[in-house]
Structure 1
């Protein structure tokens, strides 16, 4: 069989032989271009990005081929996806391919009344729109994204709410030292706008963040302060239960031992440069399928099967192989953490993830403070 002609059943058999599951949700970067130049950008998107707009014909083909593989959903990202001249037609193409889930990740600044109305016209129950909001104030958000970015994002959010899309929205915060304490205010903003979800992820020291000392990850003291706020502030606790998903609080609620067995290939990420990684966070070029725009998508997944299987085995070995993890009393709670974050922060699979100190602080608190329910 030609390596380029791989029927879905043959691909699934190959993935199964390597101990991998079929892909479910594909995150697809349709451009490396962005209207902003954010200090924390992992992929270093911007107006002069090395990866420009992906050709629309390639993107349509990839969407079609992923549908043929039985994919459950697609997430369009960038750069800033709204910079791509055909972003809306690509969303409509994905909708017409009957993906159960269709997501758009945006900074919301380029949304105008007509684009908000166009999104509402998709009339697709599986649509979700994630808006990045790095603080509840202009001072915090603009420190990272540039002067005027907060006002632009808030205006875009309000346009989406005005056309009835609030139930489809979520806010995403990159946790940093200067904005972490604004999580309660962000939950209040989400409640005010009728947005059902606020999620977050801590800053990773890679991409631009590796070179910019003006931003830093949150501290363990801040994480513990959020736990205290949850324990003592009923209004905050109720808002969080209704809308929040923040690691500091989710970790404390974990009741089962966790093994680090990454779900490689189930949530793959395809960069605007045509590199296919096994997950959103593990961007190791040594274990990636390349030049994907020049080959069938099934062939790209087949190319990645063996290196991704090897990565998955590495993920299983980390807790027993990393000295700090072997000696840690909380090893069963985190399973050595996220291998992708470890790689992103220092280019080594066998180091603790960058949130290790934060996890230890939260897990230690679990022993003395029960969730007040």
Structure 2
């Protein structure tokens, strides 16, 4: 199981500024375009909570400025809140990339702490269309309600809208988000990776955005480290 600290520590000029922590492959949703192919049958992998704390400490020691908790759905991991707290104690910024399908009332206080921000995905202003992409009935209503709650609480939030279906109401979705008070919105197309890969094709680096690896590294649930 490899971790960030294997081998000599990178120099300050090569150390990533952001380290993504893919702490789980589990997710309540099973989005049709998910590059990680996450879903209800996903697992938390080989990394323990102690392993993840050590990775966060290593990231801070290397000079990283931010960690991003991703998945899967990071809040399905039993130690996610503990990991956020640990990162904040090391003066790292934290982004929690959540589907915002299920946020327990007690979690809002943690998410509202200074240094924490949220990110999520959104697909349509119509429940039927949004839920067809997530494959989970009710996901539109829950995610929309939690986006509104995050905005009301003043929690920094960015939202990505991915065009998945022909004629998808992405423009209307953007307008709805703006009406809710979301100011950071990015729109993208489906990347033919993971669950959205074309049949019989392997990984195609041309499908990447070309920006995701700049100044970043990622640690997978297996402990493997990847970096563009």
TM-score class, shorter-chain normalisation, is: 0.7 to 0.9
- Pair 56,170 (structure 1): closer, same or farther in 2 beyond 3 Å: same
Shift of 1:112: 3.0
Report what 1:160 is aligned to.
150
TM-score using structure 1 length: 0.52
TM-score using structure 2 length: 0.83
Unaligned runs of 5+ in 1: 213-246, 248-259, 280-373
Unaligned runs of 5+ in 2: 200-208
- Pair 39,211 (structure 1): closer, same or farther in 2 beyond 3 Å: farther
Task: Output aligned runs, 1:49-64, within 5 Å.
Answer: 49=42, 51-52=44-45, 54-64=47-57
Q: Which structure carries more strand by proportion?
A: 2
CA distance in 2, matches of 1:92, 1:22: 23
| Higher alpha-carbon Rg | 1
- For residues 335-356 of structure 1, what are the alpha-carbon distances to aligned partners after superposition, in whole Å with 9 as ceiling and x for unaligned? xxxxxxxxxxxxxxxxxxxxxx
CA distance in 2, matches of 1:57, 1:273: 14
- Pair 276,192 (structure 1): closer, same or farther in 2 beyond 3 Å: same
Structure 1 segments (4+ residues) deviating >6 Å: none
Report what 1:70 is aligned to.
63
Q: In the alignment, does 2:99 pair up with 1:107?
A: yes
Task: Output aligned runs, 1:133-282, within 5 Å.
Answer: 133-145=122-134, 146-165=136-155, 168-178=156-166, 180=168, 182-210=169-197, 266-279=215-228
Task: Output aligned runs, 1:328-367, within 5 Å.
Answer: none
Shift of 1:263: 8.2
Alignment size in residue pairs: 214
Task: Output aligned runs, 1:287-306, within 5 Å.
Answer: none
**Could you say what the CA RMSD is over the residues aligned between the two structures, in angstroms?**
2.6
- Pair 98,70 (structure 1): closer, same or farther in 2 beyond 3 Å: same
Q: Which structure carries more helix by proportion?
A: 1
